[in-house]
Amino acid sequence: MLKAYKYRLYPNKEQEEKFLQHIGAGRFIYNWALENKIKSYETEGKSVSRFTLNKMITELKVEHEWLKNINSQSLQGATLNLDNAFTKFFREKTGFPKFKSKKNPVQSFSVPQFYKVDFDNDKIKLPKIGWVKTKLHRRFEGKGKTATVSKTSTGKYYISILVDNEKEIPEKQSFDGNTTIGVDVGIKDFAIISNGEKINNPKNLKNSMKRLKVLHKRLSRKQKGSKSRQKAKLSLSKLHEKVSNQRNDFQHKLSSKLISENQAIALETLNVEGMMKNHSLAQHIADASWSSFMEKLEYKAEWYGKTILRIGQFAPSTKICNACGYYNKDITLADRKWGCPECKIEHDRDINAAINIKKFALDRQNLIGI
């Protein structure tokens, strides 16, 4: 089973310079390879393979001698990343691979092998760079695969190590109505559980919006290319990073809690991209980041042998009475509570939806991908 471990790096000035050289070289090779693929397709009607490009890198080093100071496997890692981008483009119909820019908020390079991790002395050895001081806050056991060194927009360096712990993915544990919960996500409350529990939405972005506006205003007043503009940009990036960290921390804690306490979790499939077109709600939906939360639930469920059940996005979970099945076609987004005219039960809109998500999911014919 593969797991990724992320650690903070603390390079000295010389090592930081080498990091930047590796990042620049990776970006250069990626753009060079993309250009070659495009030209080859336009002239010959077929694309250049990654293996051909890797052979061409040797010739490229004669023309650009500075590439000789870069770990050769990191350069080949750039062509692998390009191959993966094309695979994703053809399989998932995502956007065509774009040329990389210096202005991207996160810059990175890969280290496929030959790195060493010293947990006792808190340092990692990287090819062509040497031993780098690292905050190794947790140990891992298993075979280290590709490591990725990244630089954030705030100037921090991290290394993410993919580890094969040589364990099999656990078998799915059995579940029933008593060990399954339905989860409905929202804006006022981040998550509503079918047992009646409501998880408050921290609204990290909204709470920082006033400060963000001040920092944006300061940045807009600075002269382009000046040191004061760089400082203002850094302050803005730090606040965005803080908001992102707060959101991830909240989602990791909640997802771990739900996975550990239940055998199965029922979720509704959401068209987040379509919902974002509602300009009144777009910022709130982006702040909640439901897709990220559901991804965390899915991979943690796989780790621990739990089950994620997904119902279709058109299932009327909000409009159906969970007690008698009455369909309320007149309910609107503004209706937070409604009474069933058939069985006379008063419903909390969100709790009713969460109960229905659970009921629909336990009915096998309603599940996605089953």
Catalytic machinery residues: 184, 268, 350
Q: Residue 119 to residues 54, 300, 326: CA-CA distances in angstroms?
A: 34, 25, 60
Task: Compute the distance between CA of residue 301 and CA of residue 299 in angstroms, rounded to an integer.
Answer: 5
3-state secondary structure of 32: helix
Q: Please give the Cα distance from 81 to 215 (Å, whole number).
A: 35
Determine contact, residues 3/169, Cβ cutoff 8 Å: no
Spatial neighbors of 84 by CB under 8 A, at least 6 apart, are: none
Output Rg (C-alpha) for the chain, integer angstroms. Answer: 25
The Cα–Cα gap between 110 and 74 comes to 5
Alpha-carbon distance of 205 to 227, in angstroms, equals 27
Sign of CA dihedral 132, 133, 134, 136: positive
Q: Which amino acid is at 212?
A: L
Q: Answer yes or no: are the C-beta atoms of 136 and 8 closer than 8 Å.
A: no
Across 254-268, b (16+ Cβ under 10 Å) vs e yields bbeebbeebbbbbbb
Report yes or no: 23 and 107 within 8 Å, Cβ to Cβ: yes
The residues, ordered by sequence, that sit 6+ positions from 346 with a Cβ below 8 Å of its Cβ are 337, 338, 339, 340
